């Protein structure tokens, strides 16, 4: 065996160490991936809630604008009636 046996066993040891290192790195990356997937899922849930809140806020704005518009229209009708009643032509 002599020289050739020693070289192959040293090369084999280096390759085995590379496998161990690769496996450790793979496990580390798998853990990081799992963590990021959980984080992504949580962010997705938060985004869904934010979108729902935004939709609710938009509906509230539309409702408030409609109420404001109706209020202004009522005020204008009331004002027109007062003006009509206060004018001399309205007293007939």
The one-character DSSP state at 92 is -
Give how many domains the chain has, as a whole number: 1
pTM strictly above 0.75: no
Handedness of CA 52, 53, 59, 62 (dihedral sign): negative
Residue 28 sits in which domain range? 2-91
**Which H or E run contains 4?**
helix 2-86
Q: Which residues of 46-56 are buried (b: 16+ CB within 10 A; e: fewer)?
A: eeeeeeeeeee
User: Per-residue pLDDT tens for 43-83?
Assistant: 999 999 999 999 999 999 999 999 999 999 999 999 999 99
* Residue 26 and residue 33 in contact, taking contact as beta carbons nearer than 8 Å: no
What is the distance between the alpha carbons of residues 51 and 58, in angstroms, rounded to a whole number?
10
């Amino acid at each position: 065996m002599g020289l050739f046996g020693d070289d192959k066993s040293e090369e084999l040891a280096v390759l085995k160490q590379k496998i161990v290192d690769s496996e450790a790195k793979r496990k580390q990356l798998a853990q990081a991936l799992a963590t990021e997937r959980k984080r992504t899922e949580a962010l997705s849930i938060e985004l869904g809630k934010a979108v729902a809140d935004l939709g609710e806020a938009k509906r509230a704005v539309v409702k408030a604008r409609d109420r404001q518009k109706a209020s202004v229209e009522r005020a204008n009708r009331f004002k027109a009636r007062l003006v009509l009643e206060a004018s001399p032509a309205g007293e007939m």
